Amino acid sequence: MDILELIQSNLLTPIVLFFLFGIIAARIKSDLKIPDAISEFLPIYLLAAIGLHGGIEMRNTGFEAMFVPMMVAIGMSLLFTLNHYQILRRLGKFNLFDSYALASTYGAVGAVTFSVGLSFLKNQGVTSEGYLAAILAVLEPVAFILAIFLTNMAVSKQIKNKKKSLGEIDSSESELEMGVTETKSNLKQVLHESITGKAIVILLGSIIIGYIIGEEGFSSISIVFDELFTGAIVIFLIEMGIIAGQRLDDIKKVGVFLISFSIIMPTFNGVIGVLVATVLGLSLGGAVMFGLLLASASFIAAPAVLRHAIPQAKPSLYITSALGITFPYNIIVLLPIMFMVSSVVHNEGSIDLFHYLSEGLI
């Protein structure tokens, strides 16, 4: 199957179709809406299911295997966040706050994207490593913490420069110290909020419970947490489609640069992620999920964290680009691309791709 066929067949899965349906419903101004309680419940359910599966898998594979991929994922997430910032600030000419907010939104992970990825793999009949759920939990706050720290450093540097020009500088205090003290209270709050936040709590809790109960204990609840999984994503994606559809007009306002950024950056991060994961020895599906972790942007957790930590940044920029552009692109186009790349580097689809390329050349 070549890549266009894969994208095409992915387009016709219920998940993607219902997402597009949600967008259409919003565009024709239908009053269709998933009730609040359900759209708040579904992310919790999805994370619980992801966590349980992860925990059960980890019982079989042990913890040792996850250490290196987790460290690499954290390192890459930090590196990518810095890279995003440079691109946004220098090439995109965004202000400092918007640049850091966007950089961390794209450095962070999207739990919904992750769920869609799992169900995509299920559809392809491929499994992935269970410990990726634990990486999802750990990766969630990393990019935000870095961005908040750097923003506070930059702000205190500005204040210092202003003071210097006014001639009232206290030379004993370095930028770093000022940045650190400014950041401390802020970071403590953010750390506390993200670690005790519902996403991480339910994810870690379910991983531990999954680890304890194992396959046997899971069989009694598998009807809810296994068989209903894809169906639940479908319902949630109607809601996501509606919200994305309501924001379609805003996409024009974010500008050509940010639109291209929201497509090129995830592609770059994702493909690099797939390649690195393959080098680390992850399976075909595992490499896709690893890439997806790095490609996805956060749109549920990001506003909650960033509105407090970097209130100067415009939420319309980071929510619209993450939910309106990157999320649809990731689940419709990038997932099949990464799957293809992963198949090629895992030497399973190489012949197909070779044919595809050679046909293209001739």
Partner 1 sequence: MKLYNVKLLTVTCEILAQKNVIDILTKHDITGYTAYEVEGNGARGLRGQGLKNEKNVKVEVIMQEEKLQDVIEEIARTLFTNFAIVLYVSDVGVLRTEKFV
Contact residues toward partner 1 (CB under 8 A) are: 36, 39-40, 242-243, 246-247, 299-300, 303-304, 307-308, 311-312, 315, 319
Rounded Cα distance, 337 and 347, in Å? 15
Taken in order 65, 71, 76, 78, is the CA torsion positive or negative?
positive
**Smallest separation, CB 274 to partner 1 (Å):** 30
Decide whether 26 or 284 has the Cβ nearer to partner 1.
Answer: 26
Decide whether 37 or 361 has the Cβ nearer to partner 1.
Answer: 37
**Smallest separation, CB 45 to partner 1 (Å):** 15
Burial profile 105-142: b = 16 or more Cβ within 10 angstroms, e = fewer: bbbbbbbbbbbbbbbbbeebebbbbbbbbbbbbbbbbb
**Smallest separation, CB 148 to partner 1 (Å):** 15
- The secondary structure of the chain in percent helix, strand, coil, rounded to multiples of 5, reads 85, 0, 15
Decide whether 187 or 242 has the Cβ nearer to partner 1.
Answer: 242
295 and 270 Cβ atoms separated by less than 8 Å: yes
Decide whether 197 or 255 has the Cβ nearer to partner 1.
Answer: 197
**Smallest separation, CB 346 to partner 1 (Å):** 37
Decide whether 243 or 289 has the Cβ nearer to partner 1.
Answer: 243
Burial profile 223-248: b = 16 or more Cβ within 10 angstroms, e = fewer: eebeeebbebbbebbbbbbbbbbbbe
**Smallest separation, CB 165 to partner 1 (Å):** 23
Instruction: For tokens 């809810």, name the residue.
Output: 224
